[in-house]
Chain A
């Protein structure tokens, strides 16, 4: 584990000997096998690896949607491993933003209302909610589509709405599991450029799972999983600020 970083700033998140085991006895699967990882504020990390290597499992634990079987997960210096469901919900509400492969927008609800959703749970008053949701939609270039429902938007636009929803709470970390997986490569690149821009301009940390080396190229660090273990972890110099 890198010790040098601590003098500058505590790591944003840290996995210590984390394992996730599914099943019992012979059917036991080590989805994650003794994974240790440190992520600093402002990093843009691509997580790669073959199917079934544990990428989504890791993202779910990092996103406080799931709990590890053993090991520790420190978020902003606090061990969140032992937290209950509601405490994890609060962490997601205030510190994390999610982007999914399948967009996961609420159907029959406008783009603006979708972006407002996390603010409702933060108890933000309606007026402020609208303003902030509108601001987030503007950042992703969809200010003109605020009243459209997901079914009236293209895939790329839907994913932008999802990004607006993820950033509207100004979270420290964005977790994206194959955000370009359902998009063609041109649309995928637009999404990547948007994420890079948010990472650079807003100081958002991004952790993104991808199968496509083209998309991973946008990140400044690439972590590769194989069989639930981190096989390689390399920083790409040309992107480092």
Chain B
């Protein structure tokens, strides 16, 4: 009997394809948004987590500017940092194990016919260790190059491929802004990207070369330090703050004009934000599922009215209340499952697209897919029950007389 009901439901649903499609559209949109949200959400959570891992442990970053602006705070009127600040940090705070200066500017780089806009970083060799980079080809900066600011550069794989193509770029010369720069190394490709940006799209050159030829000043935009295992981030941060206040001659009632960021904390905060966003959007999606369910109920009620005489005929030949109920309930469930299946396909498609656009990995979660399917069936049962019951309770005589 269930099989008959299923067969009947399928033929009814497919007889009126357009109407069935419009009926389930709400469910399709609801399920698709849930799937897309969760897929992209999980991709970006995984992303942030791998960013945390790639940042290395025990990493703090110091930038000029009043606190509360975030790591990308950008230009501000606070006094800039200098290499001397970095040296002082390493010398006076024993917990700090390594420090590297960082300055970056977006520039167009040219090789032959090819040009490419990329972030140019001026730093020292400690940068590679602190940020967990290794070389695929070539070498790091020599002491001489660091000291006199020779224009040499180390490329990320994305940059290298965009300009020079696959393979070893060492020995070629590229133009960075107005200067020529010899390529001396290629970074090993890594999967991680920092908050959606491709890490492998990078040009690194000695800080002095950067300052002299690109930024035109002796400022350092940020100082990254690592501290020894066992020291707490709060403790080291406090030490850095004390030292920096002294160096920047801040008196007791003046606020800090620099920031110390714990990169790990920022990452976990971002994970949290991603989670909240996913939750919010999922709530919106759940509401659209609810609306989708009401859409199904509405059309099922119309269908029961339209098919009153059919129901009367079925009752006359011996259909029980339960059988009529079953027929309409199965039809509602079939509709919502079709909607759910279409929604899952659409959602996965959107999720893949979104992951691609945000440059994060596409991580479909089979549990969410199964849950969506079950939830669709549930929507069918809940919103199909009322119309089905109405059909089952019809008076056979009145139903036969209908129209």
**A and B associate:** yes
C-alpha gap A104/B313 in the complex (Å): 7
Residues of B contacting A120 in the complex (Cβ-Cβ under 8 angstroms): 4
CB-CB contacts below 8 Å: A41-89 with B: 60, 63, 65-66, 85-86, 89
> Is the CB–CB distance between B318 and A89 below 8 Å?
yes
Kindly provide the distance from the CB of A53 to the nearest chain B CB, expressed in whole angstroms. 17
In the complex, B15 has a CB within 8 A of chain A: yes
C-alpha gap A90/B316 in the complex (Å): 10
C-alpha gap A63/B321 in the complex (Å): 17
Set B15, B309, B316: member contacting A92, Cβ < 8 A: B316
C-alpha gap A134/B203 in the complex (Å): 82
> Is the CB–CB distance between B321 and A86 below 8 Å?
yes
C-alpha gap A108/B15 in the complex (Å): 9
C-alpha gap A66/B397 in the complex (Å): 7
Kindly provide the distance from the CB of A219 to the nearest chain B CB, expressed in whole angstroms. 23
C-alpha gap A117/B317 in the complex (Å): 8
Residues of A contacting B396 in the complex (Cβ-Cβ under 8 angstroms): 65
Set A104, A118, A122: member contacting B309, Cβ < 8 A: A104
> Is the CB–CB distance between A123 and B1 below 8 Å?
yes
> Is the CB–CB distance between A94 and B318 below 8 Å?
yes
Kindly provide the distance from the CB of A224 to the nearest chain B CB, expressed in whole angstroms. 23
In the complex, B310 has a CB within 8 A of chain A: yes
C-alpha gap A146/B15 in the complex (Å): 20
> Is the CB–CB distance between B397 and A92 below 8 Å?
no
The proximity string for A residues 104-121 relative to B, scoring 1 for CB distances below 8 Å and 0 otherwise, is 111010000000011011
> Is the CB–CB distance between A98 and B397 below 8 Å?
no
C-alpha gap A10/B314 in the complex (Å): 31
> Is the CB–CB distance between B397 and A86 below 8 Å?
no
* Nearest neighbor of B1 in chain A, beta-carbon distance: A123
Kindly provide the distance from the CB of A32 to the nearest chain B CB, expressed in whole angstroms. 14
Given contacts A60-B397, A100-B400, A104-B400, contact A121 B322 (CB under 8 A): no
In the complex, A148 has a CB within 8 A of chain B: no
Given contacts A104-B309, A104-B313, A106-B310, contact A122 B321 (CB under 8 A): no
How many residues of A sit at the interface, in one of the four size bands?
A: 20 to 34
Given contacts A60-B397, A66-B397, A123-B1, contact A89 B319 (CB under 8 A): yes
In the complex, B320 has a CB within 8 A of chain A: yes
C-alpha gap A65/B394 in the complex (Å): 12
In the complex, B194 has a CB within 8 A of chain A: no
Given contacts A65-B396, A66-B397, contact A93 B313 (CB under 8 A): no
Residues of B contacting A92 in the complex (Cβ-Cβ under 8 angstroms): 315-318
Set A60, A105, A121: member contacting B318, Cβ < 8 A: A121
* Nearest neighbor of B392 in chain A, beta-carbon distance: A85
Report whether over half of chain B's contact residues are helix, strand or loop; otherwise say mixed. helix
In the complex, A165 has a CB within 8 A of chain B: yes
In the complex, B312 has a CB within 8 A of chain A: yes
In the complex, B323 has a CB within 8 A of chain A: yes
Given contacts A85-B321, A106-B310, contact A98 B316 (CB under 8 A): yes
> Is the CB–CB distance between A122 and B316 below 8 Å?
no
Residues of A contacting B320 in the complex (Cβ-Cβ under 8 angstroms): 85-86, 89-90
Residues of A contacting B315 in the complex (Cβ-Cβ under 8 angstroms): 65, 89, 92
C-alpha gap A217/B316 in the complex (Å): 28
Residues of A contacting B400 in the complex (Cβ-Cβ under 8 angstroms): 65, 100, 104
Given contacts A104-B309, A120-B4, A123-B1, contact A65 B397 (CB under 8 A): yes
Given contacts A104-B312, A106-B310, contact A121 B321 (CB under 8 A): no
C-alpha gap A76/B144 in the complex (Å): 114
C-alpha gap A87/B400 in the complex (Å): 19
* Nearest neighbor of B393 in chain A, beta-carbon distance: A85
Residues of B contacting A117 in the complex (Cβ-Cβ under 8 angstroms): 313-314, 317
Kindly provide the distance from the CB of B284 to the nearest chain A CB, expressed in whole angstroms. 39
CB-CB contacts below 8 Å: B305-361 with A: 309-310, 312-323
Residues of B contacting A121 in the complex (Cβ-Cβ under 8 angstroms): 314, 317-319, 323
Given contacts A100-B400, A104-B312, A104-B400, contact A165 B317 (CB under 8 A): yes
Residues of A contacting B316 in the complex (Cβ-Cβ under 8 angstroms): 63, 65, 92, 98, 104
> Is the CB–CB distance between B1 and A98 below 8 Å?
no
* Nearest neighbor of B309 in chain A, beta-carbon distance: A104
Residues of A contacting B309 in the complex (Cβ-Cβ under 8 angstroms): 104
C-alpha gap A93/B318 in the complex (Å): 4
CB-CB contacts below 8 Å: B1-33 with A: 1, 4, 15
Kindly provide the distance from the CB of A97 to the nearest chain B CB, expressed in whole angstroms. 8
**Which residue, B315, B318, B322, B397, has most C-beta atoms of chain A within 10 A?**
B318
> Is the CB–CB distance between A90 and B313 below 8 Å?
no
Residues of A contacting B397 in the complex (Cβ-Cβ under 8 angstroms): 60, 65-66
The proximity string for A residues 159-194 relative to B, scoring 1 for CB distances below 8 Å and 0 otherwise, is 000000100000000000000000000000000000
Residues of A contacting B1 in the complex (Cβ-Cβ under 8 angstroms): 123
CB-CB contacts below 8 Å: A99-154 with B: 100, 104-106, 108, 117-118, 120-123
What are 16 A-B contacts defined by CB distance under 8 Å? A60-B397, A63-B316, A85-B320, A85-B321, A89-B315, A92-B317, A92-B318, A93-B318, A104-B313, A104-B316, A106-B313, A117-B313, A117-B314, A121-B319, A121-B323, A123-B1
Given contacts A92-B315, A93-B317, A106-B313, 5 further A-B contacts (CB under 8 A): A60-B397, A86-B321, A104-B316, A106-B310, A121-B319
User: Which chain A residues have a beta carbon within 8 Å of chain B's beta carbons?
Assistant: 60, 63, 65-66, 85-86, 89-90, 92-94, 98, 100, 104-106, 108, 117-118, 120-123, 165
Closest 3 CB pairs of A and B: A93-B318, A118-B317, A121-B318
User: Which chain B residues have a beta carbon within 8 Å of chain A's beta carbons?
Assistant: 1, 4, 15, 309-310, 312-323, 396-397, 400
